[in-house]
Homo-oligomer: A and B are copies of this chain.
């Protein structure tokens, strides 16, 4: 993950921002989390390490990480903003969301990616990004019912 650290440093330099204890902490916690944390969950994690960090700083820093191309927002439709690592080295992936336990599985599927490009071409769209969410019940939860 050296690349993202560099991106962080470069962005801070470019925009004449400052490295602060809080920003570094939030950056670290975010990168070491599973990448689907809501702002609230991130804030909880951060507070458990340094309780003096304010919630507004978490919001502000996550916005900043998005601008820097380190994070991006994802919305699963439950009203919460979640963040995912924007690792351009990693393939684009989609999500399977268990509507019972809330678990999120990521997967990469070339056929889908390919077809999305074809569709964009067909409808004369210049594709910038895409999201696909499959909602269902995972094997574990089906057993419990």
Q: Which residues of B contact A135 (CB under 8 A)?
A: 127-131
Q: Is the CB of A125 within 8 A of B136?
A: yes
Q: Is the CB of A134 within 8 A of B107?
A: no
Q: Is the CB of A77 within 8 A of B136?
A: no
Q: In the complex, what distance in Å separates the CA atom of A74 from the CA atom of B137? A: 20
Cβ < 8 Å to B, chain A residues 120-143? 120, 123-139, 142
Q: Is the CB of B137 within 8 A of A123?
A: no
Q: A75-B77, A125-B139 are in contact. Are A133 and B130 (CB under 8 A)?
A: yes
Q: Which residues of B contact A138 (CB under 8 A)?
A: 124-126
Minimum distance in angstroms from A84 CB to a CB of chain B: 12
Q: In the complex, what distance in Å separates the CA atom of A50 from the CA atom of B126? A: 41
Tell me if A111 counts as interface (CB < 8 A to partner B): yes
Write the chain B residue with the least CB distance to A141: B126
Q: In the complex, what distance in Å separates the CA atom of A107 from the CA atom of B126? A: 16
Tell me if A86 counts as interface (CB < 8 A to partner B): no
Q: Which residues of B contact A132 (CB under 8 A)?
A: 116, 130-133
